[in-house]
Structure 1
Amino acid sequence: MSLAPRAVLVHRTTEYEELVSHHGTHGQAAFFLSSRGRDIEEVAERHHRARRAIAEVTAAIPLTWRQARVERADLDRFLFAPEDVVVVVGQDGLVANVAKYLSGQPVLGIDTEPGRNPGILVRHRPAQAAALLRAAALGTAADELTMVEAVADDTQRLVALNEIYLGAAGHQTARYRLGLEGDGGVVEAQASSGVLVGTGTGATGWVRSVWQERGGGLRLPGPTEDRLLWFVREAWPSPVTGTSLTAGELPAPSRLRLTVESERLIAFGDGMETDAVELTWGQTVDVGICRERLRLVG
């Protein structure tokens, strides 16, 4: 007998909840915001809108299904199961935050603030949740979004939906050797503020901003395309460091290889610096397309 599907509702603490937790009361939080020219009523309304969306989505879950809830800060301690249907209620970035913990489970993105969020990954409204849940349970076709991974020589592995950053903590000068794995080509010693490797989904965010600064010479990949873009940020020329390898495409199965020449570098994905892989002098890390993909319904 197979298990009934489990709807896992993913959300994050609202700004209002964080303010009240920090300052103790609504009134003290209101005073703090007013001293900075902000009105707590706008923050509170956004909080209530998010909570109404969560309540509406929860009510749409079929009675025969199991349910679970997880806050963003607890994702690294939550165990997803193969039969889960993941419902992300919030911002686009929350879908990216959960993607690295999944292994093929369908994801529904519910936008709590249409018009405020781009809606690239949270494509639906709370009122659509019931139909989307039924469709996900029936295995309705989903977009298979390309992800990026970094694998270190000590088996540490990092997966991201948008991009992976490799560099120094605090974005100070990172020293390393950079080249393409196994192509017998140029390997260059560099000093820079880090290397960014991004997907087509990431091409709507951080990767796009770097791409625009470089003049848009490379074609941006699509979200489902097996191709990444990589950029070296602020490479510094010196007698022992070069600037000839600063951007490029990374089609499957190519890998970008970085060998650490600093005491400590880190790699983190999708802006989650608190969940970083640490790398020390002499270690190598390969970055390329991940075998897993994010299954985004609708």
Structure 2
Amino acid sequence: MSLAPRIVLVHRTTEYEELVARHGTHGQAAFFLSSRGRDITEVAERHRRARAALADVVAAVPLTWRQARVERADLDRFLFAPEDVVVVVGQDGLVANVAKYLSGQPVVGIDADPGRNPGVLVRHRPADAKALLGSAFTGAAEELTMVEAVADDTQRLVALNEIYLGAAGHQTARYRLGLDEYGGAVEPQASSGVLVGTGTGAGGWLRSVWQERGGGPVLPAPTDRRLLWFVREAWPSPATGTSLVAGELSAAGRLCLTVESDRLIAFGDGMESDALELTWGQSVRVGVAEVRLRLVG
């Protein structure tokens, strides 16, 4: 006898909930915000909309299906099953946060606050949930390219938007950079880090660096099997160079970085709390990930 489908609802604590948890009561949170020129009414209203959207999605799940809920802060401790359908209720960034923990499960993005979010990854409204859940197992899904970093000690990190490699505080990082592990140019560098991004990330941090450089390689589309990489603020000196500061990686290409600092990190999609720790002499290779994010609709 096969198990009923399981829907995993992913959400995050609202700003209102965080404020009340920190200050104890609604009134104290309101006083805190008013002392800084803000009104709690708007914050509370966004909380209400977020919780109403989550309730609408829960109501759309068939009674015979299994359900699980996971908050953003607990994603690294939650075990996703291969047969799960993941429903993200929130912002675009929440889809990126959950993507690194999946291995091909379909994802439905529900916009908890239409008009406030770009809706690039949370493309649907709560009212659409019932129809989307019915087709999630058999319907077409867009397969978005992801980026991965694999260290020589087998540590592995996957991200939907981009991976940053550098010092934890974004100070000067020292390392050797090469276009691939075997042959090719290798250059010692000192910089504020290296950014490697996907077509999905081309709408955020990667695009801002790309624009600062005056364009360059054409930005990839979210489904393109290629990446762009940029070295941030490379510093020229007698011991460090600036000739390898930007480029493109094909599906088979890899960027290799060998650490020449006491400690560097690699983190994805802005989640510094879940980073790879890299010490002197370690190397890490970054490229297109085998796994992709399957986004429904």
TM-score (normalizing by structure 1):
0.99
Q: SS of 1:178's equivalent?
A: strand
Deviation at 1:254, TM superposition (A): 0.5
Q: SS of 1:292's equivalent?
A: coil
Structure 2 match to 1:162: 161
Amino acid of the residue matched to residue 266 of structure 2? A
Question: C-alpha distance in 1, partners of 2:181/2:252?
Answer: 11
Structure 2 match to 1:73: 73
Q: SS of 2:229's equivalent?
A: strand
Q: Does the CA-based 8 Å contact 2:181-2:256 persist in structure 1?
A: no
Instruction: Give a deviation string over 1:272-292, Cα, whole Å, max 9, x none.
Output: 000000000000000000000
Amino acid of the residue matched to residue 275 of structure 2? A
Structure 2 match to 1:102: 102
Amino acid of the residue matched to residue 49 of structure 1? R
Give the aligned length. Answer: 297
Q: Does the CA-based 8 Å contact 1:202-1:208 persist in structure 2?
A: yes
Structure 2 match to 1:265: 264
Q: Residue 6 in 1 paired to residue 6 in 2? A: yes
Q: Does the CA-based 8 Å contact 1:3-1:83 persist in structure 2?
A: no
Structure 1 match to 2:118: 118
Mapping for residues 2-81 of structure 1, pairs under 5 Å: 2-81=2-81
Structure 1 match to 2:227: 228
Question: C-alpha distance in 1, partners of 2:39/2:181?
Answer: 57
**In percent, how many aligned pairs have the same letter?**
84
Question: C-alpha distance in 1, partners of 2:238/2:116?
Answer: 48
Structure 1 match to 2:127: 127
Q: SS of 2:154's equivalent?
A: coil
Instruction: Give a deviation string over 1:21-75, Cα, whole Å, max 9, x none.
Output: 0000101100100011100000000000000000000000011110000000000
Question: C-alpha distance in 2, partners of 1:194/1:296?
Answer: 30
Question: C-alpha distance in 2, partners of 1:184/1:85?
Answer: 43
Question: Which structure 2 segments of 5+ residues have no match?
Answer: none
Instruction: Give a deviation string over 1:247-293, Cα, whole Å, max 9, x none.
Output: 00001100000000000000000000000000000000000000000
Deviation at 1:182, TM superposition (A): 3.8
Structure 2 match to 1:292: 291
Question: C-alpha distance in 1, partners of 2:52/2:263?
Answer: 45
Instruction: Give a deviation string over 1:100-146, Cα, whole Å, max 9, x none.
Output: 11111100000011111110000000000000000003x21100000
Deviation at 1:20, TM superposition (A): 0.3
Question: C-alpha distance in 1, partners of 2:195/2:240?
Answer: 18
Question: C-alpha distance in 1, partners of 2:28/2:256?
Answer: 51
Structure 1 match to 2:192: 193
Amino acid of the residue matched to residue 17 of structure 2? E
Amino acid of the residue matched to residue 151 of structure 2? A
Question: C-alpha distance in 2, partners of 1:273/1:292?
Answer: 22
Q: SS of 1:116's equivalent?
A: coil
Q: SS of 2:292's equivalent?
A: strand
Deviation at 1:183, TM superposition (A): 5.3
- Give the ranges of 4+ consecutive aligned residues of structure 1 lying more than 4 Å apart after TM superposition: none
Q: Does the CA-based 8 Å contact 2:6-2:84 persist in structure 1?
A: yes
Question: C-alpha distance in 1, partners of 2:21/2:118?
Answer: 28
Q: Does the CA-based 8 Å contact 1:111-1:126 persist in structure 2?
A: yes
Amino acid of the residue matched to residue 139 of structure 2? T
Q: Residue 207 in 1 paired to residue 206 in 2? A: yes
Q: Residues 149 and 218 of structure 1: is their aligned pair in 2 closer, same or farther, counting only changes over 3 Å?
A: same
Question: C-alpha distance in 2, partners of 1:115/1:237?
Answer: 45
Question: C-alpha distance in 2, partners of 1:241/1:220?
Answer: 28
Deviation at 1:4, TM superposition (A): 1.2
Deviation at 1:186, TM superposition (A): 1.1
Question: Which structure 1 segments of 5+ residues have no match?
Answer: none
Question: C-alpha distance in 1, partners of 2:182/2:82?
Answer: 38
Amino acid of the residue matched to residue 35 of structure 1? S
Question: C-alpha distance in 1, partners of 2:228/2:116?
Answer: 27
Question: C-alpha distance in 1, partners of 2:220/2:60?
Answer: 35
Q: CA RMSD in A?
A: 0.7
Instruction: Give a deviation string over 1:213-265, Cα, whole Å, max 9, x none.
Output: 00111100010110000000000000000000000000110000000000000
